[in-house]
C-alpha cells in the first residue's frame, strides 16, 4: 500500500536524439565560427562581436533544444 513517504522514481532525462541534436548544433556553430571569424577585420569591434556571439548562440541553441523546463531550479 503506497504512502506519502514513498519516493518517486524519475527517469534520468538522457535522450540520444536530444544529445545528437545538441552535438550537431554545437558542431554547426563552431563550423560557422571558424568560417566567419577570419572574415571579420582584425583589431575591430566586429571581431570581438563575432567571438562573443559563439558562446551566446551556443547557449541559446542548447536551451531551445532542451526546452524551457530543463533547468535544475524548475525540477521539483
C-alpha cell at 38: 577570419
Give, for all 76 residues of the chain, the pLDDT tens digit.
566 666 666 666 678 888 888 888 888 888 888 888 888 888 888 888 888 888 888 888 777 777 766 555 544 4
> Domain residue spans in the chain?
16-67
Which value, in Å, is the radius of gyration of the alpha carbons in the chain? 19
Amino acid at each position: 500500500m503506497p504512502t506519502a513517504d514513498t519516493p518517486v522514481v524519475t527517469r534520468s532525462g538522457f535522450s540520444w536524439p536530444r544529445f545528437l541534436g545538441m552535438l550537431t548544433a554545437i558542431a554547426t556553430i563552431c563550423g560557422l565560427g571558424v568560417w566567419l571569424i577570419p572574415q571579420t577585420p582584425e583589431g575591430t569591434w566586429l571581431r570581438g562581436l563575432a567571438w562573443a556571439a559563439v558562446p551566446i548562440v551556443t547557449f541559446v541553441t542548447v536551451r531551445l533544444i532542451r526546452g524551457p523546463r530543463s533547468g535544475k531550479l524548475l525540477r521539483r
